[in-house]
């Protein structure tokens, strides 16, 4: 943890933020092995979700033969299972971190409380809004994709992979799915920030300037269709049903964990389970930066190196100061944390964040100058 977090933040992680060494040159094999070990083994989101996917398949999955025909029985079984999973993960994290505040403010990025009321939210409050869009739309679209893929596999329309046929590829696919997710997510995310799509679709997700576990899958139904559409690659890339479960559970359940608002889960004052990322937390506050994930460093590419306050004559002094300060924290040899802000967009983000903070006037939010 940084000794002196940026003004306006409760906690900032050690910087520079580390991206996957898989895509850095020259390749450093020991760093790659260390990244894989930390991302997958010990206690990690990915290993936990592999376990959930296997448990879902062996104990809560109808036989593939039953899925040749679309029937309400097995479709309902998938929906109830997914509803229970999302409620357990997002609800459990919310209860732990926000209702019972078991970790207090330790490792929490944004010091402000979640928004209890607000006209911009469906049902008048952030948590109610997030739960509604997550459970009503998100879980429904998630289940619909499972139904489509399992029906296609059962009828031979999608290629099927088995352990007996190719055990190496069977295992490798678990490691490759997160890389595909990172590639796919970056490009659809950039698409969703095109003004038309942002206004009519993605803005619903960005109601959450400060995020909580229910915020991750709180999206417009069209965005759910686009976001979870990555699983359609398995119409061409052979997979086993357990890979389909893992693929979609990885997308949906880590949406909750990465939007927790905390860097990790503390056990005996040690961060034992990495959760949210400061990289994406900044995206929710500043909107026009950090479109990807840390798996593939798309945000340091030539398309998104970040624009300085080029015209400081028209920019408010505090805006340039904030951008420079954020850049200082993000600085590294590869600019692992990209800030792509114009003065106007940063000011707009400040206005929205200030409105958010004013609605929580019982707390003392950071000053506008600090954002």
Is 310 a residue whose pLDDT tops 50?
Answer: no
Domain-embedded: residue 4: no
What pLDDT, on a 0 to 100 scale, did the predictor assign at position 317? 33
DSSP 130-146: HHHIIIIIIHHHHHHHH
Question: What is the dihedral sign for C-alpha 44, 126, 245, 89?
Answer: positive
Residue 99 sits in which domain range? 27-283
Q: Average pLDDT of the chain?
A: 80
Predicted local confidence at residue 319, as pLDDT: 33
Q: Quick one: pLDDT at residue 40?
A: 63
pTM over 0.85: no
**Between residues 324 and 105, the one the model is more confident about:** 105
Identify the band that residue 335 occupies on the pLDDT scale cut at 50, 70 and 90: very low
Residue 222 lies inside a defined structural domain of this protein:
yes
* 132-137-142 Cα angle (round to 5): 130
Helices of type H across 259-365: 278-286, 317-330, 343-358
Q: Which helix (H) or strand (E) holds 255?
A: helix 241-258
- Residues 219 and 254: beta-carbon distance below 8 Å: no
* pLDDT the model gives residue 202: 97
Asked if the structure places residue 106 within a domain, the reply is yes
Average of pLDDT values for 294-322? 43
Decide which of 14 and 59 is more confident. 59
Q: Which residue has the tokens 């490691």?
A: 175
Question: Is 247 a residue whose pLDDT tops 90?
Answer: yes
Is the pLDDT assigned to residue 220 strictly greater than 90? yes
Least confident of 31-45, 118-132, 293-307, 336-350: 336-350
Q: What confidence score (pLDDT) does residue 26 get?
A: 78
Better pLDDT: 13 or 170: 170
Give the three-class secondary structure for 238.
Answer: coil
Could you report the per-residue pLDDT of 158-204, keeping only the tens digit for each? Answer: 999 999 999 999 999 999 999 999 999 999 999 999 999 999 999 99
> Pick from 198, 46, 220, 261: which is nearest to 138 by CA?
220
Mean pLDDT of 68-83: 97
User: Mapping DSSP to helix (H, G, I), strand (E, B) and coil, where does residue 262 land?
Assistant: strand
Q: Is the pLDDT of residue 337 over 80?
A: no
Range name among 37-51, 97-111, 199-213, 264-278 with the lowest pLDDT average = 37-51
Distance CA(115)–CA(209), nearest Å, equals 10
Q: Of the given ranges (183-197, 232-246, 294-308), which has the lowest mean pLDDT?
A: 294-308
Scanning the structure block, which residue is given the tokens 């269709």?
Answer: 225
Domain count of the chain?
1
| Closest to 151 (Cα-Cα) out of 209, 86, 66 | 66
| Confidence label for 39 from pLDDT (cuts 50, 70 and 90) | low
Rounded distance between C-alpha atoms, residue 297 and residue 281, angstroms = 16
Among 20-29, 56-65, 281-290, 319-328, the range with the most confident prediction by mean pLDDT is: 56-65
User: What number is the average pLDDT over the span 311-337?
Assistant: 35
CB distance 144 to 154 below 8 Å:
no
Check whether 3 has a pLDDT greater than 60: no
Q: Among 359, 357, 223, 117, which Cα is nearest to 368's?
A: 357
Q: Which of 345, 349, 348, 350 is nearest to 307 (CA)?
A: 345
pLDDT reading at 57 higher than 60: yes
DSSP-H helix ranges across 68-125: 72-86, 92-94
Q: How far, rounded to the nearest angstrom, does the alpha carbon of residue 103 sit from its chain's CA centroid?
A: 21
Backbone angles phi, psi at 238, to 5 degrees: -60, 140
Which pLDDT value is given to residue 19?
A: 65
Q: Is residue 345 part of a domain?
A: no
pLDDT tens per residue across span 353-369: 444 444 443 333 333 33
Structure token pair of residue 344: 């106007």
**Mean pLDDT across the stretch 12-36?**
71
Task: Say what percent of the chain tops pLDDT 90.
Answer: 57
Nearest Cα neighbor of 120 from 186, 191, 209, 42 is: 209
32 within a domain of the structure (yes/no): yes
What is the rounded distance in angstroms from the CA atom of residue 20 to the CA atom of residue 336? 10
Q: How many helices (H) and strands (E) does the chain have?
A: 13, 2
Summarize pLDDT for 81-112 with one digit per residue, the tens: 999 999 999 999 999 999 999 999 999 999 99
Helix (H) or strand (E) holding 267: strand 264-267
């Amino acid at each position: 943890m940084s000794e002196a977090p940026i003004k306006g933040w409760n906690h900032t992680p050690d910087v520079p933020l580390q991206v996957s060494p898989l895509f850095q040159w020259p390749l450093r094999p020991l760093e790659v092995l260390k990244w894989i070990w930390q991302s997958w083994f010990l206690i990690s989101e990915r290993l936990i979700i592999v376990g959930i996917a296997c448990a879902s398949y062996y104990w809560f999955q109808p036989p593939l033969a039953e899925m040749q025909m679309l029937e309400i029985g097995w479709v309902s079984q998938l929906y109830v299972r997914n509803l229970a999973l999302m409620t357990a993960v997002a609800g459990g994290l919310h209860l732990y971190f926000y209702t019972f505040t078991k970790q207090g403010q330790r490792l929490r990025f944004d010091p402000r409380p979640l928004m209890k009321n607000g006209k911009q939210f469906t049902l008048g409050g952030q948590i109610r809004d997030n739960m509604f869009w997550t459970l009503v739309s998100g879980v429904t679209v998630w289940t619909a994709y499972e139904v489509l893929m399992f029906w296609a596999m059962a009828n031979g329309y999608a290629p099927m992979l088995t352990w007996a046929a190719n055990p190496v590829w069977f295992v490798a696919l678990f490691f490759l799915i997160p890389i595909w997710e990172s590639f796919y997510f970056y490009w659809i995310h950039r698409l969703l920030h095109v003004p038309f799509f942002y206004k009519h679709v993605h803005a619903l997700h960005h109601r959450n300037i400060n995020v909580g576990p229910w915020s991750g899958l709180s999206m417009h139904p069209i965005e759910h269709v686009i976001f979870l559409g990555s699983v359609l690659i398995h119409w061409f890339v052979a997979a086993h049903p357990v890979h389909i479960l893992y693929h979609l559970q990885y997308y949906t359940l880590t949406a909750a964990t990465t939007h927790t608002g905390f860097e990790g889960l503390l056990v005996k004052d040690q961060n034992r389970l990495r959760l949210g990322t400061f990289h994406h937390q900044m995206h929710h506050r500043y909107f026009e930066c950090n479109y990807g994930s840390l798996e593939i460093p798309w945000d340091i590419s030539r398309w998104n190196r970040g624009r300085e306050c080029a015209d400081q004559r028209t920019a408010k002094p505090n805006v340039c100061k904030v951008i420079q300060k954020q850049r200082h924290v993000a600085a590294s040899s590869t600019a692992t944390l990209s800030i792509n802000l114009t003065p106007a967009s940063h000011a707009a983000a400040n206005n929205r964040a200030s409105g958010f903070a004013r609605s929580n006037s019982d707390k003392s939010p950071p000053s506008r100058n600090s954002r």
